[in-house]
Amino acid sequence: MDNSEKKRILAKIKPENFIGRTEEFDSILRHAKSESESKAMLCYTAPGVGLSELLKQVYDQLFYEQDKIIPVYFEFKKSDKNIKDAAVRFLQTFLKQTVAFRRNDTKILDASPDICEISELAIPSDGHWIDRLITACSRESELNNESAFVRNAFSSTLRAASQDANAFVMLDNLEDISYLTGETDLIEEIKEIFSRSKMPFVFAGKRRFIFSATQTGNTKINRAENLEIKPLSFTDSGLLAENLATQKDININEQTRDLIALQFRGNISLIKAIFNSAEEKETDLDTFQKVEQVYAESIFGGKIKAYYDSIFNEVTDNVEIQKQIVSLLYNSLTVEKEKVPIESWQKHIELVKPKFYQSMRLFNSNEIVHLTSNMIGANVNDEVLNDYITKRFRLELRADSRALVVGESLTGFLKRAPEIMAKFYRKKTAIGLRELLSVFDCQEIPISLLYYNVYKDLHKGKDSEEILSDAKKEAETTQLPQIVYTANTVSLYSPINKLTEKERSAVALGFESASYKDEDEIVWIAAEVDSKLEAKADLATFWCDRLEMVAIMCGFENYRLWLISPEGFEDEAIEVLRSRRAIGSSRKQVELLAKYLDVEDIINENSNPNEYEMVVPMGEDTELIAAHAVEEIARRHSFEPKAINQIKTALVEAFINANEHSHSPDRKIYQKFQVQDDKLVITISNRGLRFKGKEIKEIVPNEGRRGWGLKLMKTLMDDVKFEQVDDGTKISMVKNLTK
C-alpha cells in the first residue's frame, strides 16, 4: 500500500508531509526488527522538535507491515496525576493496541474499549493470557498494593512475549513521570522491568531527563543505542514553512521563509505556532515586519506565551514564586551572564529545599534553565525563551507600560531580523578553521601558502593550478605543528562570541614537532576577519589584541595567532602581524593550503562557487529556458559540444517527466547545477513529484513515450538516480567531464 493511501492511525501528519526525519525513522524501524543483544534505544531531544510524532509515524508503519512485531506506543501524561493511574492506562493501551494489531483492525483503537471488552475482542489464541493478566492486575488493584499493581501492569509485555506476542514498546515523554504522585519509584520500576526484556524497546523524552534517569539509580540502561532527534535543518525548516504556508493559504517569500527557519532554530512547535497565529490573524508572512508582528503578538498573548506559561504553571502555580524565578532568569541574562552556584538561587526563592530542587530539575528538563552539577543559569542561547523572560520581567516585576514594552520589543525584533540573516550568511561562508587545523601534522608546506606577503609577491593573480604547481618548486618552506586537539574559541573564552560566530574562530593545541616535550608545546589561535579589501593595520591590531586576550585568559604561554582576511592584508597590517608574531593569510591561500594537504573536502562544505540554482514554472516550454541555461554553464566549464547536447536533451526529458508526473501544489520545478572538478551534477525536483510503482529504481520504459525518455536519460548521462525524498521525488543526473 502506498503511503499516500494509508489511513493515519496514531500519526497526525501524512507520511508524505512528514519532513526531515527519514534517517531517524529508519533507525527506529531497524531497531524494532533488530535481533542484536542491545535491546534498548534511548531517543532524546530538545523540547518542541517533534519526537512524539516520529514515534507515532513508526507505530503506523509497523502496524501496516503486519509483521510478527506488535507495535505499542504509550506516552506518559501529567493529566494522569498519579502513578497508579498511569499504570492502568498503560495496561489498557498495551492490550488495546495488541488486540487491534492481531485483528488488523484500527477501529478497535478508535472505539476505546475498556479492559473487559478488550478481552472479549481478542483472538482466541490471545484470550487466555489476556484474561490471566487482567485477573492478576485486578487482584493487586483490589488489594490496593500500588507497587505490585504497577509492576504487573508494566510487566504485561514480558508476559505476552512468553505467549509469542512480541511487542516493540515505545515509552514516550518519560520526563512527565516527575509530575506524578505516588509511593512507587516508577522510573526504577520500568528500568528494571524492561532491562529484562528480550524484545527491543524505546525510552523517549527530553534529552536532559533521559540521560539522568537512565544512567542513575539502582538499575542503569547499559549498552543502549542512542538516537538524538535534532532540530530540523535549515533546509527542512524552510520546507516545513513552505508546506504550512500552502496548507494555510499564507503568503511567504524566500526571505521570510529563511528568517522563520533561522529565528526558530528548526523547532517544529514554534514554526507551527507562528503559522497558526498568522492563520488566526488572517495575515501573510511575506515581509520581515509581518513575521515579527505575529511573533510579538504570540510572545505577548498568543501560543508562544501559552506554551511557556504552561511550563511555569506545571512547576508551580504560585505567582510570587514564578516572579522570583523570572527575576533570577532575567538577571542571569542581563547581569551575571554566567552560571552561579544553585544555593544563590535558593536564597531568593521561597520554596522548601526538596521542592526547590525538584522545581529546578523540572525547569532544567524543559530547558528553561541550564543546570549542571551545582551551577545554574538561564538558557542564554534560546532567544525565544529570552524574549519571553524579558517580557515577563518588564511587565510583572518592573511594571513598565504594556504599550511601551510591546513597541520596544517589536522594534527590537525587527532590528534583530537582518542580523540573524547576516549571521547565517557569515556562518555559511566560514572556512572551517577548526577542521583544517585538526589535520595539521608536521607537514612541510611552501611558505607562500601561509604568509600573505609572500603569496602576494609570487602568486597573486594566477589561477589555482598554476599557483600550486609553482608553489611546489619554492625553496622556502615551513613546517606546520602537530595538532592533537581543537575547539571553537568560544568554548574556551565565551566573550569572543560577541565578535564573531563560533565557526569563524578556533583554538588548536599541539606540538611544534612530534617530540612531545614541554618546550615544544604550541597553541594556534585562528580567526576569520571581515574586510572587503585588504585588511588595514587597525583591524589587524584589533584582532591580535582580542586573540591575545584568549591566550592570556586560558593561560597559554607559547602561542601563534593566525588571521584570515578575504583579500589578505595591506603592507602596514603585515608589519603589525610580524611585530605580534602573527600569521596573516587570504581566504584564497587557505583554500590552496587545504588543496595542497589534500583535505579541501573539509572546508567550504556548505558552499560551492560553481553551483547554480533555477526555479521555473511548469508549462509554456520552460524546459527550453533550463536547457539554454545549462548549455551556458557547461560551455563555461569546458564541456565538449557533443556532451553539451547530451546534457541538454537529458535535462529536457527530466523536465518533462517532472511536469507530467507531478502533483505539485506550487507548479514549479527546482533545478540545481553543480560543477565539480570532473563532472556536472544536475538535480531536478519539485514539491509533490511522485512516480508510480513500488520503487523508483524499478521504473522501466513501459509508459510509452515517457518511458522511452527515462531510458534515454540513462543512455545520455553517466549516472541517473531517482530518489524518493520527503516532499516528492528527485532526479539526479551526472555527466563526467572528459579531457
The full 3-state SS of 296-308, as one line of letters, equals HHHHHHCHHHHHH
Contacts of 345 (CB under 8 A, 6+ apart): 328, 360, 376
611-736, what's its fold?
Answer: Heat Shock Protein 90 (3.30.565)
Kindly report, residue by residue over 201-253, the tens digit of the pLDDT.
999 999 999 988 998 888 888 889 999 999 999 989 999 999 999 999 999 99
* Measured distance CA(315)–CA(325) in Å, rounded: 11
CA 429 to chain centre: 19
Mean pLDDT value across the chain: 87
Confidence band of 354 (pLDDT split at 50, 70, 90)? very high
Q: Can you read off the three cell numbers belonging to residue 699?
A: 521504473
Q: What is the pLDDT of residues 167-176, one digit of tens each?
A: 999 999 999 9
**Are the C-beta atoms of 550 and 494 separated by less than 8 Å?**
no
Query: Which residue, 246, 277, 244, 248, is CA-closest to 261?
Result: 244
Instruction: Label residue 700 by pLDDT band (50, 70, 90).
Output: very low
Q: Are strands 375-378 and 611-617 parallel, antiparallel or unpaired?
A: unpaired
Q: Which CB contacts under 8 angstroms, 24+ apart, belong to 234-240?
A: 234/258, 234/261, 234/262, 234/266, 234/424, 236/19, 236/20, 236/266, 236/726, 237/20, 237/261, 237/262, 237/264, 237/266, 237/271, 239/19, 239/20, 239/726, 239/727, 240/19, 240/20, 240/268, 240/271
> What digits encode the pLDDT tens for the residues 319-345?
999 999 999 999 999 987 678 999 999
| Closest to 363 (Cα-Cα) out of 320, 308, 302 | 308
Q: Check residue 634 and give its pLDDT.
A: 87
Q: Is 674 in contact with 680 (CB distance < 8 Å)?
A: yes
CA distances from 95 to 29, 98, 441 (A): 22, 5, 60
Closest among 675, 608, 607, 668 to 647, alpha carbons compared: 675
CATH code, 433-602: 3.40.1340
Report the percentage of the chain scoring pLDDT > 70: 91
Cell numbers 522545581 correspond to 359
Structure-block grid coordinates of residue 236: 527542512
**Looking at the predicted structure, is the pLDDT value of residue 661 above 70?**
no
- Write down the pTM of the prediction: 0.76
Residues 6+ apart with CB under 8 A from 516: none
Per-residue pLDDT at 710: 76
Decide: helix, strand or coil at residue 506: strand
Distance, in Å, from the CA atom of 706 to the CA atom of 305, rounded to the nearest integer, reads: 53
Among candidate residues 720, 421, 467, the one with its CA nearest the CA of residue 589: 467
pLDDT at 30 over 60: yes
pLDDT value for 488:
94
Strand 521-528: give its sheet, edge to edge: 482-488, 505-511, 521-528, 559-565, 582-586
Which of 668, 674, 584 is CA-nearest to residue 620?
A: 668
Instruction: Give dist(CA 240, CA 247) in Å, integer.
Output: 10
Q: Given pLDDT bands bounded at 50, 70 and 90, which one contains residue 652? A: confident
Nearest residue to 689 via CA among 636, 714, 720, 725: 725
Q: Please report the pLDDT score of residue 336 as a whole number.
A: 72
Which one-letter amino acid corresponds to residue 489? Answer: T
Q: Is the pLDDT of residue 271 over 70?
A: yes
Quick one: average pLDDT of 722-734? Answer: 71
Least confident range of 53-62, 231-240, 269-278, 605-614: 605-614
What pLDDT, in 10s, does the model give residues 488-509? 999 999 889 889 888 999 999 9
Which has the closest alpha carbon to 526: 604, 585, 591? 585
Query: Do the beta carbons of residue 583 and residue 451 sit within 8 Å?
Result: yes
- Helix (H) or strand (E) holding 485, with range, is strand 482-488
pLDDT at 300: 95
Say which residue the cell 601561509 belongs to. Answer: 450
pLDDT band at 704 (very low <50, low <70, confident <90, very high): very low
pLDDT tens by residue, 389-438:
999 999 999 999 999 999 999 999 999 999 999 888 888 888 889 999 99
Instruction: Supply the pLDDT for residue 687.
Output: 63
All three cell numbers of 262: 533561522
Q: Could you count the other beta carbons within 10 Å of the beta carbon of residue 243?
A: 18
Of 69, 42, 64, 74, whose CA–CA distance to 198 is shortest? 69
Q: What is the pLDDT of residue 139?
A: 63
Whether residue 318 has pLDDT greater than 90:
yes
Q: Give the whole-angstrom CA distance, residue 197 versus residue 217.
A: 19
> Tell me, what's the pLDDT at 62?
95
Question: What percentage of the chain carries pLDDT values higher than 90?
Answer: 57
Average pLDDT over residues 659-668: 65
Instruction: Give me the pLDDT at residue 137, please.
Output: 65
20 or 545: which leads in pLDDT: 545
Boundaries of every domain in the chain:
3-229, 305-399, 433-602, 611-736
- What dotted CATH number matches 3-229? 3.40.50.300
Query: How many CB atoms are located within 10 Å of the residue 590 CB?
Result: 22
CA-to-CA distance for 273 and 295, rounded, in angstroms? 9
pLDDT by residue (tens digit) across 72-129? Answer: 999 999 999 899 999 989 998 999 999 899 889 898 888 777 776 777 777 777 766 7
The CATH code that applies to domain 305-399 is: 1.10.10
User: Residue 126's pLDDT is what?
Assistant: 72
* The residue to which cell 572538478 is assigned: 677
Task: Give CA–CA dist 599/162, Å, rounded.
Answer: 55
Nearest to 154 by CA among 180, 109, 185: 185
What's the confidence (pLDDT) of residue 725?
Answer: 54
3-state SS assignment for residue 263: helix
Query: What is the pLDDT at residue 603?
Result: 65
Residue 73: predicted pLDDT: 97
